[in-house]
């Protein structure tokens, strides 16, 4: 009995900081009812934020996952971009998973590679590429067009 009382009276720790999750979700657009795919590290924090904001389904995949089936998604989020080659592989997976008209959101993380990531998004077939400065680093968003590649940014 004493153990139970000690546990119920223990002070609660403050929740951890979001690590830029709010910046990603703010740039993602409307989330309610979306099917989302989160690729890479820090996926759990982003998944919890997506569920809080009303996403219908959230799937998290890490780079070392060997899943043969990639679920279809309206929204793909890359919380942390590593090297450009790793990011290119993740964007190729995002391109396969996204439904036409879907969105991809990724964070530069303060590395100053916004222009290189925008070029990478364009070469992967994404359009309407936008870069926004946030406290956690630059956040890039892009859309998968409904038909064929769209020239320009």
Q: Residue 3 contacts by C-beta under 8 Å, 6 or more apart in sequence?
A: none
What integer best gives the mean pLDDT of the chain? 81
- Each domain of the chain, given as residue ranges in start order, spans 18-143
pTM reported for the whole predicted model: 0.80
Which CATH number is associated with domain 18-143? 3.40.50.150
Do 106 and 81 form a contact (C-beta atoms < 8 A)?
yes
pLDDT digits (tens, 9 = 90+) for 45-103: 899 999 999 999 999 988 766 666 778 899 999 988 888 888 898 899 899 899 999 99
The pLDDT tens digits of the residues spanning 107-119 come to 886 677 888 899 9
For residue range 13-22, list pLDDT tens digits in order.
444 455 678 8
The helix-helix angle for 114-123 and 84-97 (nearest 10°) equals 40
φ/ψ of residue 124, rounded to 5: -85, 0
Q: What is the predicted pLDDT for the residue at 15? A: 45
How many whole angstroms separate alpha carbon 75 and alpha carbon 36? 5
Q: Which two tokens stand for residue 43?
A: 């996926």
Percent of the chain at pLDDT > 90 equals: 35
């Amino acid at each position: 009995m004493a153990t139970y009382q000690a546990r119920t009276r223990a002070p609660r720790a403050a929740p951890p900081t979001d690590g830029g999750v709010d910046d990603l979700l703010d740039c993602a657009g409307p989330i309610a009812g979306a099917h989302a795919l989160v690729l890479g590290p820090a996926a759990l924090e982003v998944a919890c934020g997506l569920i809080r904001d009303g996403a219908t389904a959230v799937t998290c995949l890490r780079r070392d996952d060997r899943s043969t089936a990639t679920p279809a998604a309206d929204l793909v989020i890359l919380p942390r971009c590593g090297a450009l080659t790793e990011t290119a592989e993740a964007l190729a997976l995002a391109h396969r998973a996204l439904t036409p008209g879907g969105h991809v959101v990724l964070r530069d993380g303060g590395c100053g590679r916004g222009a290189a990531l925008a070029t990478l998004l364009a070469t992967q077939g994404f359009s309407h590429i936008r870069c926004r400065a946030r406290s956690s680093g630059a956040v890039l968003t892009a859309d998968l067009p409904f038909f064929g590649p769209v020239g320009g940014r």
